[in-house]
Amino acid sequence: MKGRLLTNEKLAKYTSWRVGGCADRLYMPLDRADLIEFVAQLPANEPVFWMGLGSNLLIRDGGIRGTVINTKGRLKAMRRTDEGAVYVEAGVPCAHVARFCAEQGLVGAEFLAGIPGTMGGALKMNAGAFGGETWTLVNQVDMLTARGEVIIRSSQDFTVSYRSVKGEDGEWFLSALLQLPEGDTTTSQQKIKGLLEKRAQTQPTNQPSCGSVFKNPEGDFAARLIEQSGLKGYCIGGACVSEKHANFIVNTGKATAANIETLISYVQAKVNEQHGVMLRTEVCMVGVAEE
C-alpha cells in the first residue's frame, strides 16, 4: 500500500458539517492503481464506505464500522481524450470539472460549479444544481468491484432519476467519461461566475452545512415548504435551519450529528403536519448513533 491508513480516525474534520464519530479505519489512496490494490486485499465481508469532500453527508456520532475510503485530493486525474470526451476521476471536485470544461470550450457542465462535492458523489446521486443534472453528461463509467476488478459500464446500465442512481450492487465509481457539446469559453466562464454569485447570495456558504438537506417535492420546493412552516432559524442544540436558505441546516459551532438528525426529523414532521408533504432527505445519513 502506498496510501495512508489511519485507525480510529475522527471523521468530523473530513465532513462539511464538521460532525461525526470515528472510522475504524480510514484509507487515503495514493492514486487509482493503489486504490484498486487496496480494495482487492480487503476481507470479503469488510464494510466499505466512500467519501470525497464530505458534503451531502451526515456521519452519526458513533462513527462508521469497517473501512472508509477518502478520495479528497486523490483520484484527481482529469483530461480531454483524443475523441473529445472529458475523462474525470471520482475524487475531482465538481467545481474543477466545470472550470476545466469551460476552458476546453465545452458547454453544459457549468452547473457543476454549484455542487460542493466530488464527481464520485455526483455520479452516485445524480447531483444537480441550477437546473442541471450530472448524468445528462455521462457517456460511460469505470466501476470498481469489491474484488478489485474494474468494469466499464455505459450510462444505459444505470437507472437514473432525480437525485437517484441505481446500478449493480457492490460496485463503486472510479471515473467517468463526459460528453459535452462545443461552445464558447468566455460565455461558459461568465455563466459559471454568475452561478457562483447567485449561490453566495442565496446559500449560507460561510457556515458548515451539507448543501441541500431535502429533495424538492415534485412541482414544489423544499425550502418554500420549510419557510412557510415558520422554521427558518429554528434550532436544536447547535444545529439550525438557515435564515438564508431554509433547505440548509447549519452547524453554528457546537452541533452534534444527533442535533442535526433530530432537527431533520422535526422539520419533516412540521412540514407534513402543515402541508401534508413528507420531505425526503437528499443528504446521506450513515454510521451508528453514539450510545
| Residues recognised as catalytic | 163, 212, 282
Cell numbers found for residue 271: 412540514
Query: CB under 8 Å to 68, separation ≥6 — which residues?
Result: 9, 11, 23, 25, 26, 27, 48, 49, 50, 51
CB 16 within 8 A of CB 208: yes
Could you give the CA distance from residue 270 to residue 39 in angstroms, rounded to a whole number?
43
Question: Residue 287: CB partners within 8 Å, gap ≥ 6?
Answer: 20, 21, 59, 60, 61, 62, 63, 64, 257
- 170/124 Cα distance (integer angstroms): 13
DSSP-based three-state secondary structure for 51:
strand
- Kindly state the DSSP code that residue 93 receives in the 8-state scheme: B
Task: Compute CA 119 distance to the chain's CA centroid, rounded to the nearest angstrom.
Answer: 8
Quick one: which of 128, 138, 84, 129 has its CA closest to 106? 84
List 251's β-bridge partners, or say none: 239
CA distances from 196 to 202, 221, 236, 264 (A): 10, 20, 30, 27
Whole-number Å distance between alpha carbons of 173 and 235: 36
Q: Which three cell numbers stand for residue 2?
A: 502506498
